[in-house]
Chain A
Amino acid sequence: MTAQGIAPSPAKRLRQESSRESDHYHLPPPTFDLDVWVNNYEGFPPHLLGALLPLRLAHVAIHCPTLSRQAITLAISHAKKSKDVRVYIRLCDLAGQFGFADLGAPDLGWASKQEEGNKRELSRLEGELRGYKNNLIRESIRMGQEDLATHHLITGGPPPDPATVQSLGGTGYGVAYQAFGKMRDYCTTPTHMASMILRLTYTAILQAVSAQQQGSTARHHLDLVLSNCSRLRTCGVKEEEQVKLNPIAIAMSGIAHLGQANYHDAASAFLSTPIAYNLLGPVHNTDFGRAVASANDLAIYGGLCALATLSRQALIDRVLGGPFRAFLELEPHMRKAISLYTTAKYQACLDLLRRYYSDWSLDVFLGVPASSIGSASHVDVLSAHIREKSITAYFSSFSEVSLASLASTFPPISSSPMAMEEELLSMIDAGQLDARLDVVNGTLVAPRKDLRASTHEEARRAAEEVERTLLLRLHKVNVAMAGLEVPRSKTGVWEGHGQGNGLMY
């Protein structure tokens, strides 16, 4: 019942997309092994904050047919271990849509029992919280509030009530977010604040992922992630604690920027993430490295964003030569791709990126659509950026390149004969490529610049502009001095403009 209106959406999108010959839902199998991969994201403690894992697996199941069954089986078993009945039902539903009849039938007995237990637990926690509030002990209230919020988080929050209009945050994880937010009044030390903000950040990310998976926009939630990240950096805890918080704050803000398609900001966030993020372990009972994104993931995100947005020199200085290299060592193929790009081996670089396309598209942060319009995922957009940058960089050393040789270096994505030409045209139009196309000879020509003439032209324009401006201002002074201004209209205020404030402009 609760799954109504939510579960159909991935499948509905699935159908629409597949009819448009998009391959997002038919990715080839990735290079990693699913079981090993899942181990990276086992929550710690497993059932407390592992809510992202079923969503992750569902993402894999939706997008990769080969792994679909395995992923959904894992997801369901994980969901069943948790207390979130609705995620479980939704996953079973999904399995049914994929045609896995055996998995599609939910264990209703377990579900109702768990639901019952959740309700009992909820009323117990609420009762306790009321008691604490009567006793007016702040620390108890804070902990009671935290327990309540955590309960909401792991049970997926109260189900949407069909009788009332669904308000923002009125159901699901939104309730958990608000409950965590209520801790604020009872936080007495910066450490408490930090712990609360960490939970808020995590909840917001969870909300974002779940919203994206259900086909709605995650922008609002990502904004919350960003604001929580900046609060996390200035919450005033002791130096040694802050050192632990900073990597999380920076990395999560990077993920939020990535989700909002601000690749440049995302790149600079990831590049400045301290390597301490790796093996950081749980901070305030939350291990972001396991629950949200591992250091390996950050290496991929950062590497791709940097490759797509930074200049070659910045890549050499800040990425390969900077502290981010430590991350790249975790994912050597990413490092290799970047060094290939910096040494102008564009073809090899793009080939390498293509080989891992499937891996990255199965990531729950990279594989989601980059904008509400169109189905291109972040990986697609980033790859397109990198490709365009490569073409621009490749062309910069030539004055004329034939389209054929360009097409052999950068094989066009689509198979239409005009593909290369169209791609180049759109790049020229967007101002990324400073070149002209000679359609007749089939070449791309670099514009010849006559510096002297263009400087002359510029000077002439500037001088004309100065002359015009001077004349206009002279006119203004003369008119004012001669008292020849347009007089006040006699019929009162002209169409509501120029309220008589007693000042003559």
Chain B
Amino acid sequence: MSDLSAILSFPPDDVAKLTPKKYDDAINRYLQRIEKLPNTAWLRPVDKKNLLEMLNPEVNSIPYMVSLAGQIKAAGKDWTKLEILLNYAVIFLATFDPVQVRYVGATWLTVLDWTLDTLPQSSSCDLSIIASAMLRLDPTLGTFTSTHLRFLRICLEGGVPSHALPILDKNIYAMATTPPKLMADEFLCDDLELSNTYITLKSGFTLKIQPQYVLEYYLIGAHIYLGSRNYARARLFLEYVLLHPSIQHSISALQVEAYKKWVLVGLLAEGKPYPLPRTHDNAVMKGVRDVSKPYDALADNFIKRNLSKYRAEMDIGTQIWHEDGNLRLVKEAESALLRFRVMDLQKTFAALPIGRVAAHAGYPPDTTLQWVTEMIRQRQLRASITPNGNGNAGDAVLRFHHSTTSSSALADGDLAAQTQRIEALVAHVRDADRRLQLTKEYVEYTKRQKRSGPDAADMADQMDLTWENNGAGIMGSAGGVVGMDEDDGDEDIMGGF
């Protein structure tokens, strides 16, 4: 029974009144205490009931989790037992106390991983529970962990990519790294604003991250967004991959894949490839493009709105698209090309008979009428069709409307939300900047600058001043690292890495 009291000794009754420091002390003491407990203490039933029945996962998160992990290990491959445990795990993941688990990240990860593995085999295959557990641990979900990728893969394997959307929709603000030492007055249990202070490589919440994990995460994410027709987001994810820094201009195959998709997404969304992001690495981009020539050729014909040539390219490269897994995208771009050809007409015409649209698109009038109607229905085209009395499809009139659409109230809301997003982002940029200033490389760089004489230092200061005065001054004076203006003075700081 003493085991049980030890297990239940945290949290104390007055937990709400504890200062962070006292809470921190208490939880550390508690952890030392339960470490000494024999393994059996976690497995043995209490009052003929499972220990897990006694514990409230919301309050006693740590013991619940430790016990769960222990029982999972003991259960081996006994499926009936595992299924029971899975229920407990689901309950736990839905209700655990996010602050307590920060102290035992490794165990948390074990439970989560196990659940992730077991869930698809069980009858109910609701992966959203994992997503909400991740969100519970880190509401901003701003720190990249190995779980991100694992979860995404399992979602894909399970055929439920949409379950990954809550995770994908959150922007990554930091990578899990070796932590900087906590400030003296900061504790794990503090109400920390940024998740990267408690999700670190040492916290146990993540495995060691490899570059390809990040690339793969974004690439899969882009796939999922493509599937849900969220082109803006897909573009962002693909550009993450494309702009992923590399050492000595080496190129990842994933980047090549991303480029191919990126070209096609541009065609689908805007009718032309997106402009290259300004901060791309020329050598890398050249290498990537060298092996993606067929896609550039495709894009060329698309821009020229040359349907027949596009089709010819498409047919001749079927093998290529198929091998790259882009065949469907390429086909979709074909119908997009047709759409853009009609949309281009509204730059020139205010109204015209369907017959002329048909002649322009190279289709018989009645088919044309059909898919133009379809385009209007899908709101890809702002226009209306007035059928002619004689029932001749070619004589129906297509009249384009003015493109000013959204009501101003809606637009205001949009803008406000956007502003909020950017403000939140700026906070994270500031944080990244601060972290950057704490790195050894940056300190050395600054030292070098200082050593090269007062003149040089003055010049640097001056440069920074002008930089701030540019109006984009969201960064500290030394950290021209991430900025919205085009001044790429940041690159030489980055060069230190």
Question: For residue A475, which residue of chain B has the nearest CB?
Answer: B240
Judged by a CB distance under 8 angstroms, whether B469 is at the interface is: no
Q: Which of A440, A482, A488 contacts B177 (CB 8 A)?
A: A482
Q: Mask for B457-496, Cβ within 8 A of A = 1, else 0?
A: 0000000000000000000000001111000001000110
A105 at the interface (CB under 8 A from B): no
Q: B277 — nearest CB in chain A belongs to which residue?
A: A472
Q: State in angstroms the CA–CA spacing of A17 and B364 once bound together.
A: 38
User: Which residue of chain B is the closest to A500 with respect to CB atoms?
Assistant: B248
- Residues of chain B with a CB closer than 8 A to A489's CB: 250-251
B75 CB to closest chain A CB (Å) equals: 36
A477 within 8 A of B: yes
Contacts of A481 in B (CB 8 A): 175, 177, 432, 435-436, 439, 497
Partner of B251, one of A437, A468, A469, A494: A494
A81 contacts chain B at the CB level, 8 A cutoff = no
A109 contacts the other chain (CB 8 A): no
> Which A residues, 96 to 117, have Cβ-Cβ distances below 8 Å to chain B?
none
Closest approach, in angstroms, between the C-beta of A279 and any C-beta of chain B?
52
CB proximity of B430 to chain A, nearest CB, Å: 10
Chain B hits for A504, CB < 8 A: 247-248, 495, 497
Number of interface residues of B (CB under 8 A): 79
- A460-B482 contact in complex given A470-B422, A476-B245, A478-B172, C-beta closer than 8 Å: no
Name the CB-closest residue of A to B214. Answer: A484
Say if the beta carbon of B287 comes within 8 Å of chain A. yes
Known: A456-B408, A476-B279. A487 touches B348 (CB 8 A): no
> Quick one: which of B200-253 are within 8 Å of A by CB?
209-211, 214-215, 232, 235-236, 239-240, 243-252
Q: Chain A contacts of B284 at CB under 8 A?
A: 497
**B234 to nearest A CB, angstroms?**
12
Q: Is the CB of B250 within 8 A of A505?
A: no
Chain B CB within 10 Å, residue with most, of A436, A447, A476, A486: A486
For chain A, residues 440 to 462, give those with C-beta under 8 angstroms from any C-beta of chain B: 440-441, 443, 445, 447-448, 450, 452-454, 456-457, 459-460
CB-CB contacts of B404-435 with A at 8 A, as 1s and 0s?
Answer: 11101001001100110110011011001101
- Do B351 and A440 touch (CB < 8 A)? yes
CB distance from B179 to the nearest CB of A (A): 12
Point out the residues of chain B lying under 8 angstroms from A460, CB to CB. Answer: 411, 414-415, 418
Q: Does A187 contact B (CB under 8 A)?
A: no
**Chain A residues with CB under 8 A of B174:** 478
Within 8 A of B (CB), among A405-445: 425, 428-429, 436-441, 443, 445
A485-505, CB < 8 A from B? 485-489, 494-495, 497-498, 500, 503-505
Q: How far is the CA of A396 from the CA of B425 in the complex (A)?
A: 45
B390 vs chain A, min Cβ distance (A): 15
How does the 8 Å CB contact mask read for B157-177 relative to A, with 1 for contact and 0 for none? Answer: 000000000000001111111
| Residues of chain B from 380 to 402 with CB closer than 8 A to chain A in the complex | 397, 399-400, 402
Minimum CB distance partner of B397 in chain A? A440
Q: Are B349 and A437 in contact (CB under 8 A)?
A: yes
CA distance A199 to B279 in the complex (A): 53
Q: Which residue of B lies closest to A433 (CB)?
A: B348
Whether B425 and A498, one on each chain, are in contact in the complex, defined by CB atoms closer than 8 angstroms, is no
Query: A475 to chain B: which residues have CB within 8 Å?
Result: 172, 240, 243-244
* A429 and B348 within 8 A (CB): yes
State whether A479 touches B351 (Cβ < 8 A).
no
Q: Are B279 and A505 in contact (CB under 8 A)?
A: no
CB distance from A340 to the nearest CB of B (A): 30
Q: Does B4 contact A (CB under 8 A)?
A: no
Cβ of B290 < 8 Å from any Cβ of A?
Answer: yes
Q: How far, in angstroms, from A469 to B280 measured CA to CA in the complex? A: 12
Q: How far apart sit A482 and B177, CA to CA, in the bound complex (Å)?
A: 6
Given contacts A467-B418, A486-B255, is CB(A505)–CB(B281) below 8 Å? yes
**Given A439-B353, A486-B250, does the pair A478, B175 have CB atoms closer than 8 Å?**
yes
**Are B404 and A453 in contact (CB-based, < 8 A)?**
yes
B379 at the interface (CB under 8 A from A): no
Known interface pairs A477-B432, A484-B211, A494-B250; A472-B279 also in contact (CB < 8 Å):
yes
B421 touches A453 (CB 8 A): no
Separation in Å of the B414 CB from the closest CB of chain A?
6
Cα–Cα distance between A439 and B481 once the two chains are bound (Å): 54
Residue of A nearest to B213 (CB): A484
- Is B150 an interface residue, CB under 8 A from the partner? no
A477 and B177 alpha carbons, distance in the complex (Å): 13
27 A-B residue pairs with Cβ-Cβ distance under 8 Å, sorted by A, are A436-B347, A436-B350, A437-B348, A437-B352, A439-B353, A445-B350, A447-B402, A450-B402, A453-B406, A453-B408, A456-B411, A466-B422, A470-B422, A471-B236, A472-B243, A475-B172, A476-B244, A481-B436, A481-B439, A484-B175, A484-B214, A486-B215, A486-B244, A487-B247, A497-B283, A498-B250, A504-B495
Give me 20 other A-B pairs in contact (C-beta within 8 A), A469-B278, A472-B279, A479-B245 excluded. Answer: A425-B348, A436-B347, A438-B349, A438-B350, A439-B356, A440-B397, A440-B399, A453-B404, A456-B406, A464-B232, A466-B484, A468-B236, A471-B240, A472-B277, A473-B429, A475-B244, A488-B248, A497-B287, A505-B247, A505-B281
Top-9 shortest CB links A-B? A498-B249, A486-B246, A482-B175, A436-B350, A473-B482, A453-B404, A438-B350, A439-B352, A450-B404
